[in-house]
Structure 1
Amino acid sequence: MASASTVPTVPTVPTRFMILSDTHLCQIGHAAIIGGRFMGPPPTCDVVLHCGDLTNYGSDDELQYSLTMLNRIEAELKLVIAGNHEKDLDPRKTNPSDNPGFLRHKAAVDVMMGPWAHAAGVTYLTEGLNTFTLKNGAAFTVYSSPYTPAFCNMAFAYNRHDDRFNPAGKGAPGFRCIAENPIPDFPGVDIVMTHGPPRYMMDRVENGNAGCESLIRAVSRARPLLHCFGHIHEGYGAKLVQWNEDEELIGPRAIARVIEGKNDFPRATYCPVKFGKETIMVNAAITNSEFQPLNAPWLLTFELPKLVD
């Protein structure tokens, strides 16, 4: 792992992100009310991050309906991943011999990668790394993944003791490495965008913690500026994680301090995060445990590296 102190100082530019997840067909804007504090057109931003579960089943018509919501948000870049409810987007849920299933999958993918998404300004991300540059000169790298631990035969699932996020040799004892696109070590990624939470981070449900142990290990290696997710509706919130100076520590042991965050939406919150030393973690589930859209999106401003003119 590269040392945080060795990262060169570069010019930065403030960049505003709107983060949301688990909208489940709710419509933000017009007559929609979020958290009792927001109605009407949403505020503008530079980047929208939607962490999955736009729909209930992932059908093409549900996806189209969700894209109309995202179309109402004014932003230069809108990045969207699938969640465990987007069954028709998961190719593994389609049996090649099941022609209706194959056609449903194709129709869903066509929505998210075709004219509907283009009209809404949406870029659909699968698992892996992508780098983006905005008009303001801000440049950043995003790691995205829709996968979560298996639950009720939902989409994009892996067995809880399979490690999808760490390369061989960096996983926890007793876990089987299945990583096709592991999260890179620091400083290889600025933003980690997953559907599910890491273990012990806004992942509490009635029966315990539902987050992924492998994911917290991977994020502790990567030390991004931001890790955003949803999936666990009960875990809505944000935390500033300060990392231990000992960069050899992995997983929960790497965390030195956790500070609770406050949502000031629709006002933006300025986040002077120290890259490599701190990470803001956000559970942006808009719907609560009863699938009611009572939580506000997060509007956060980060200082991102600016490309030299």
Structure 2
Amino acid sequence: PLCPSKRSRAESPLPIPSVRLLIMSDTHGAELPSSLPECDVLLHCGDLTEDGSPDSISASLQELGKVKAELKLVIAGNHDIALDKAYYLSEGGSKADVEKAQALVSPDQVSEASKLGITFLSEGTHTFTISSGASFTVYASPYTPAYGASGFQYSTDEDRYNPSAISPLWAKNVGTETSIIPAGTDIVMTHGPPKYVLDSTADGQSAGCEHLRRAIERVKPKLHCFGHIHGGYGAQRLEFDNSKTRGDSDSIVPLAKEWVGKNQAKRKGFASLPPGSAEEFRGGKQTLCINAAMEGEEGRLENAPWFVEVQLP
């Protein structure tokens, strides 16, 4: 019988490992469900706490420590105010609280986060390789457009995510080497959403950032996860049509929002893409956007975290 030669076997492409991601945001100090599935990578997109105090940050880290994951990546959100030194001190907070909060999430092996297997990401691009051999880049940013008194905010006319050549004339480009999202990024992890994507507030307003939208159009990451706008919870795939870039329109073509039964998701302990949508996403020509805000409009954890299996890179 015929069998593959050594040469043909050597030339066969290695399968790209799938990575199981558990994505959540806006837990606001609540106790996490006990039924969360085991995953390769946990992504928490900010607002671990309600009041941002060091004690609340510590309690939330302990909750995340219970999740079974090889890699746990976490960013701050606008409620996690003791981690935003400039804002916290400007509001009368103590320097001691800032130092305590920063020590909790420090990369030092003795920090509480490190002991719990949690990597707290500062703004910028980070590269990870897990035991399956999957290697991927994550861009992280805790910042959101200014709204009220809160941490990690920027003026709505400031573009921190793009090179100056990409910013419109009316915008002030404040991008730095760490804040600009680089081409080739696999996962974009921000606290807030891009404009017009899973960003509807309770009164129907669009609260996302148009500069972030422009960056997603430019970079086309495989996944963009966020929270912040509780009413925008859900998943939506984006396609890109370069023929649309004339005039005032961009190339983003949002597909229909993915339907997930909330009761079914709660019974499972997680929400996931319908099979057909998951298959399309695996084609590599789309960006999957996920608003993973678990706290609903009533101040309780009403939404399930998202469980996504994706091939990286």
Normalised by the size of structure 2, how large is the TM-score? 0.84
CA distance in 1, matches of 2:249, 2:71: 33
CA distance in 2, matches of 1:249, 1:179: 25
Aligned 8 A contact 1:220 1:250 in 2: no
1:182-197 alignment, distance < 5 Å: 182-186=179-183, 188-197=184-193
2:97 to 85, 104, 129: 104
Deviates more, 1:196-205 or 1:173-182: 173-182
Aligned 8 A contact 2:236 2:254 in 1: no
Aligned 8 A contact 1:185 1:221 in 2: no
Q: Which residue of 1 aligns with 2:17?
A: 13
Q: Which residue of 1 aligns with 2:197?
A: 201
Change (3 A) 1:164 1:243: same
Counterpart residue identity of residue 72, structure 2? K
Q: Which residue of 2 aligns with 1:213?
A: 210
Change (3 A) 1:284 1:250: farther
Change (3 A) 1:275 1:116: farther
1:258 to 251, 255, 259: 255
Q: State the Cα deviation string for residues 108-140 of structure 1 (Å, max 9, x = none).
A: 111112531122211000100000000000000
Aligned 8 A contact 1:41 1:72 in 2: no
Aligned 8 A contact 2:141 2:179 in 1: no
Q: Which residue of 2 aligns with 1:128?
A: 124
Change (3 A) 1:258 1:250: farther
2:49 to 44, 55, 58: 55
Q: Secondary structure at the match of 1:209?
A: coil
Deviates more, 1:245-254 or 1:76-85: 245-254
Change (3 A) 1:218 1:185: same
Q: Which residue of 2 aligns with 1:238?
A: 235
Change (3 A) 1:252 1:71: farther
CA distance in 2, matches of 1:179, 1:277: 27
Change (3 A) 1:128 1:176: same
Identity score, percent: 40
Q: Which residue of 2 aligns with 1:145?
A: 141
Deviates more, 1:251-260 or 1:290-299: 251-260
Counterpart residue identity of residue 285, structure 1? A
Q: Which residue of 1 aligns with 2:294?
A: 286
Gaps of 5+ in 2: 1-12
CA distance in 1, matches of 2:144, 2:51: 16
| Structure 1 segments (4+ residues) deviating >2 Å | 181-186, 245-252, 262-277
Aligned 8 A contact 1:41 1:73 in 2: no
Shift of residue 94, structure 1, vs aligned partner: 4.1
Q: State the Cα deviation string for residues 16-58 of structure 1 (Å, max 9, x = none).
A: 00000000011113xxxxxxxxxx3311000000000000122
- Tell me the C-alpha RMSD between the 2 structures: 2.4
Q: Which residue of 2 aligns with 1:41?
A: 35
Counterpart residue identity of residue 100, structure 2? A
Shift of residue 257, structure 1, vs aligned partner: 4.1
Counterpart residue identity of residue 117, structure 1? A
CA distance in 2, matches of 1:250, 1:157: 30
Aligned 8 A contact 2:88 2:151 in 1: no
1:153-172 alignment, distance < 5 Å: 153-172=149-168
Residue 298, structure 1, aligned to residue 292, structure 2: no
CA distance in 2, matches of 1:217, 1:250: 15
CA distance in 2, matches of 1:251, 1:16: 38
Gaps of 5+ in 1: 1-8, 30-39
